[in-house]
Amino acid sequence: MIAALLAAAPALPLDEAGKYVAGAFVVFVAVIVIYVGIMGVRLQRMSKEMAELNAALDLRERAEAARAGEPEAPPR
């Protein structure tokens, strides 16, 4: 059925088809750039959260060591 539809649909001349190919390429590149941008923002946010969690863990470990009377652990 699809083959019959494709056979019945006339092909666009190359001078007209080029505009559509270029437009599709521009849209494709724009989608890739947007995706990479979103992933970069998410990576920055996750890195910041990891740094905050590591800092909180260091504070917690130092507080527990101080309560137990142990010498301070060296910073990571």
CB 12, CB 20: distance < 8 Å: yes
Mean pLDDT of the chain: 85
The answer, yes or no, to whether residue 47 has pLDDT greater than 80, is yes
The answer, yes or no, to whether residue 28 has pLDDT greater than 80, is yes
Q: What is the pLDDT of residue 37?
A: 98
- Please give the torsion angle defined by the CA atoms of residues 20, 22, 28 and 34, in that order, rounded to the nearest 10 degrees: -120
For residue 9, CA distances in Å to 4, 5, 13, 34 come to 9, 6, 12, 34
